[in-house]
Structures are given as C-alpha cells and as structure tokens.
Amino acid sequence: MLLPRSPAHRLVLAAFLMDFAIGLAGLAFIELAIHLGATPTVLGLIGTVGAGAYTLGCLVSGPLSDRCGRRRAVVASCLVVAAAWACYGLVRQPWQILLILPFSGGGMAFFWPPLQAWLAELAAAEGGGALNRRIGQFNVAWCLGLLVGPVVCGHLWGHSQQAPFLLAVGTSLALAFLTGGTPRGRALRQPEEPATSAGHPDAALFLTLARLGNFAGFVGLALVKTFFPDLAETLGLGPALVGWLIAALHGGQLALFWLGGRTSRWHYRVAPLLLAPLLAAAGLLVAWVASSPWLFALGFAAAGVCAGVTYLGSLYYSLHGNTADPGGKAGLHEAILGSGGLLGPLFGGALAHASSLRAPYLLGVGTYLAALLVMGLIWRRGRRR
C-alpha cells in the first residue's frame, strides 16, 4: 500500500481508519449486548460509560499533547484502544462490556484532540486558507469511516460475531504504525496569523453557539446509535440493514462536511447554527413515528446534517486563529461532544426502560429545541452587547 507523502494527508487517512474501526466496534458491542440479553438501561450505560471516559480524557489529552507531543499521544491511543477491543472475547454477560469501555473511550480521547491539533499546526504553516481545506478533508475522512464501519459490521455480524472486533483491532494496530511513521511536518516558515478569526468581533460568541449546538447534535447521534439496533430487532430489521441506517446519520454529516470544506461562506454566519437543531428535531420526530426503513434513513440523515453543521463550526472556531494551545482547544471541543454522547444514552436508557424504545427520540427532539432556544437567547444578548 502506497502511503500519502504529505503528513497532513496521512493524518486525514488516519482519521478515516480510526473511525472505520470505531464504527465497527461500536455497533458490534451494541449487537453483542443485545445478543446477550441486555436491557435498555444497560444499553444506555454502554453509551454512557465509554463517552464519560472519552469526555474526561479529552480534557487531559489536548493540553498534554501541547507539552509532550502529538505523535506520542496518538500512537499510544491506537495501542490502548486495540488492547481494549481485543477483550471482547472475554465477554459473557452484557455488564462485562462496561468494564472494557472506560479503556477504549479513554484511549480514543488521546487520539482525536492531538490529531486535530497536529493537523491545525500543519495547516497554519501552509497558510493561504489551508485550515478550512484541511478541516474539510479531515471531517469528510472521519465521517466516511463512521459511515462505512457500521455497514461492514452489519454484514460481517451475520457471518461471524468475531470478525468485526478482529478487523477493528487490526485496523487500530495498523494505525499505530501509520501515525508512528508520520513526520511531525512542521514547516520552516512561521505560521500565518489568520486575520478573520482574530479580528472578528463575535468570534467568542460564535464559538459558544457552535459548542451548544455540537452538544445537542451528539446527544441525538448517541441516542440513535445506542437504541436503534434494539428497536430494529423488534421491527424485524436485520443487522445488515441496521448498519446501513446508522450510516445514514453519517451520510448527512458527510454531505455537509464536503460542502463546508469547499466554501467559507458559512464562516461567522448564525443562520446555519440556528437552523441545524430545528432540522434535526424534525428528523427525530420522523424517526419517532417511522416503521419504514426509508423514513428512518430520512430522519437520521437530518440529524446527521445538524451534527455536521455544529461540529464543523465548533472545530473551526476552536482552531482558527489559535496558535497558543490548539491541543487544549481541540480537547475542549471533543469533551463537549463527548458529554452529549454521555448524557444522551444515560437519560435515554432510563426513558426507554420506563416507556418504550422509541421514547429516546423524543428526548432528542427536546434537547434540540432546548439548545435552539438557549442559542437564540445567547445570540440576541451577544448582539446587543
């Protein structure tokens, strides 16, 4: 296999491969838990425990990589995650999955913020608007990985329950070699100082709005990924189709990332940030009443578009113009979305246990609308100031 010569392109490839592995292992653990008879509460805890470890880890990994280096953190992450996923063979009861997830979630926390900061440093050294281009490539790559991973898992699961885990472990180990051999790639000239972010009077305001939207967006994604496979089983939808329908989430994200990486017209515009939660709320309402796979795909894609808009805004506003502590800013960005992945399954599991497997979608709708209300109030107050 011929690897890209550019360090930035290698990091983009790494983003694809890691989320491909995460897509494989994430759905495989949910399917394994369902196969072992997990209740909705346990399914919710599966989503919560991994996201909790990831959230806490991101608060440490980004600033630590500012001091100790990006490459070391990324390589160590790949090895820890591979070791955690390899423990799937020890699982005999659904609750035992909860013992693995703190290690896989915590390990992933040392991959994403350092990788994002590493890529931002390379883009800043390139200059000429490279940050928007590199972020666009990065977002398309990881989103494509999350789109393909569940599809592959769904097809493999029907033939072998071991295959998705083995492929995920092998991919993570290959990633350790890929990133370990990637030059740090610092350019000889000093990075340009991006004028747009530094000089924009509402830079902090847009970052706050994007972070709120990002939290809500990942609550919705986590609810779908955690509880839809169980609902699908009651509707008679097989694992292969479940993989495709979860991929619809990331199909919406992928389309948005592709567009956002090719234009800067969305920079410092509030309309996309406010319209995204409204679209996602409509999408989960469709999923709440749906029984047709096509309607589920439509609703999930709408939620994916929302997560794409807010993720893109949060990452861009975190890194653009920030040369002091990009790792810390990327870590906070990832911790906020991780907290959405933590709280969504936690409360969604309780709601599904008390009501039905469709009830978590209403929780997602309420989260989107509450975020939209708060974002509107913050925007109005910020503009008055």
Each residue of 284-333: pLDDT tens digit?
A: 999 999 989 999 999 999 999 999 999 988 988 887 755 567 778 888 88
Mean pLDDT within 356-360: 92
Sequence-distant (6+) residues with CB within 8 A of 119 are 8, 11, 12, 134, 135, 138
Bigger pLDDT: 187 or 226? 226
129: which 2 tokens?
A: 């608007």
Q: What is the pTM of this model?
A: 0.84
Bigger pLDDT: 351 or 262? 351
Sequence-distant (6+) residues with CB within 8 A of 66 are 117, 325, 326, 327, 328
- State pLDDT tens for residues 180-215: 988 775 543 444 444 334 446 677 899 999 999 999
Closest CA to 62 of 113, 128, 121: 113
Distance CA 110, CA 308 (A): 22
Contact 22, 145 (CB under 8 A): yes
Query: Which amino acid is it at 305?
Result: V
- Burial label for 278, CB within 10 Å (0-12, 13-18, 19+), is middle
Residue 23 has pLDDT above 90, yes or no: yes
Average predicted confidence (pLDDT) for the chain: 88
| Residue 88 DSSP one-character state | G
- State pLDDT tens for residues 324-355: 677 788 888 899 989 999 999 999 999 998 99
Residue 116 has pLDDT above 50, yes or no: yes
| Residue 5 DSSP one-character state | S
